[in-house]
């Protein structure tokens, strides 16, 4: 079992819809959770971080964390074609290193 | 605006050559990391450092080496490049105490012919 699991996709949604990206993790001691966006050929860019159970909103993005169920999700409202990218979930367990998932590819259809 | 810089951005080099990929950050971060990523594939940690004179191998075996003589500088060296080293190399950093995620450089795309 991978430490951080994501569905590889692609997840295809129409423009204007809500895109829902999910991630599960194995280390119950994990305290910090991050979502990165990576465009093809580019480096990952941090878009959201969350540390407490519940929702955290930033513009069109909402991160959701449920530590009891060991999952974290990212919602993108009013999806735009420019949101098409690979989204990486990253989890910080007790060590200093972030553990990255393999990413979910999102495709927003015009 | 990136505060972590990688050079060169692209590099095409012949088999057997020695190369050094540069990574510098101006944020005073203690921790620095090197990742290798093939197109469309996941990130693989190859080296990391928690501070000056501290270097560790990552989760993916790599023939490269690193050094950390100054806080801001974390170069990666391949003594003898091979076609199997063709990949994108990403450098990242973060602060020791902060709960923030990594900041990534723009990467070096290496092609060994």
pLDDT digits (tens, 9 = 90+) for A45-74: 999 999 999 999 999 999 999 999 999 999
A18: pLDDT strictly greater than 70: yes
B94: pLDDT strictly greater than 70: yes
At residue A96 the predicted structure's pLDDT band, cuts being 50, 70 and 90, is low
Q: Contacts of residue B88 in chain A, CB cutoff 8 Å? A: 41
Compute the distance between CA of residue B25 and CA of residue B14 in angstroms, rounded to an integer.
29
Cα-to-chain-centroid distance, residue B78:
11
Compute the distance between CA of residue A78 and CA of residue A19 in angstroms, rounded to an integer.
8
Q: What angle do CA B46, B15, B85 make, to 5 degrees?
A: 20
Convert B11-29 to b/e letters by CB count within 10 Å (16 or more is b). bebeeeeebebebbbeeeb
Per-residue pLDDT at A16: 97
B40: pLDDT strictly greater than 60: yes
For chain B, the average pLDDT equals: 92
Using the beta-carbon criterion (under 8 Å), do A32 and B101 form an inter-chain contact?
A: yes
| Residue B64 CB neighbour total at 10 angstroms | 19
pLDDT digits (tens, 9 = 90+) for B100-110: 788 999 999 99
Nearest-CA distance B79 → chain A (Å): 25
The phi, psi pair for B11, rounded to 5°, reads: -145, 125
Per-residue pLDDT at B67: 97
Q: Contacts of residue A88 in chain B, CB cutoff 8 Å? A: 43
B71: pLDDT strictly greater than 90: yes
Using the beta-carbon criterion (under 8 Å), do A100 and B43 form an inter-chain contact?
A: yes
Cβ neighbors of A59 (< 8 A, separation 6 or more) are: none
Quickly count helices (H) and strands (E) in chain B: 0, 11
At B85, is the secondary structure helix, strand, or coil? Answer: helix
At A81, is the secondary structure helix, strand, or coil? Answer: helix
Instruction: Write the DSSP symbol of residue A28.
Output: T
Nearest-CA distance A16 → chain B (Å): 26
B1: pLDDT strictly greater than 60: no
B10: pLDDT strictly greater than 60: yes
pLDDT digits (tens, 9 = 90+) for A72-87: 999 999 999 999 999 9
């Amino acid at each position: 079992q991978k430490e951080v699991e994501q569905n590889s996709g692609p997840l295809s949604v129409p423009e204007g819809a809500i895109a829902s990206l999910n991630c599960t993790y194995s280390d119950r001691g994990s305290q910090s959770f991050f979502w990165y966006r990576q465009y093809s050929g580019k480096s990952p860019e941090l878009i959201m971080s969350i540390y407490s159970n519940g929702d955290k909103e930033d513009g069109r993005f909402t991160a959701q964390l449920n530590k009891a169920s060991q999952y974290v999700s990212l919602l993108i409202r009013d999806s735009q074609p420019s949101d098409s990218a690979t989204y990486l979930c990253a989890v910080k367990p007790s060590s200093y290193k972030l553990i990255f998932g393999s990413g979910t590819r999102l495709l927003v259809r015009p | 605006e990136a505060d972590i810089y990688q050079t060169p951005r692209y590099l095409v080099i012949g088999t057997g050559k020695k190369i050094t990929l540069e990574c510098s950050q101006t944020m005073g971060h203690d921790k620095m990391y090197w990742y290798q990523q093939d197109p469309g594939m996941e990130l693989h940690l190859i080296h990391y450092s928690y501070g000056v004179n501290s270097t560790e191998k990552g989760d993916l075996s790599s023939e490269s080496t690193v050094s950390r003589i100054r806080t801001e500088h974390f170069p990666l060296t391949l003594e003898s490049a091979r076609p199997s080293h063709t990949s994108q190399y990403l450098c990242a950093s973060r602060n020791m105490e902060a709960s923030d995620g990594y900041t990534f450089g723009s990467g070096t795309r290496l092609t060994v012919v």
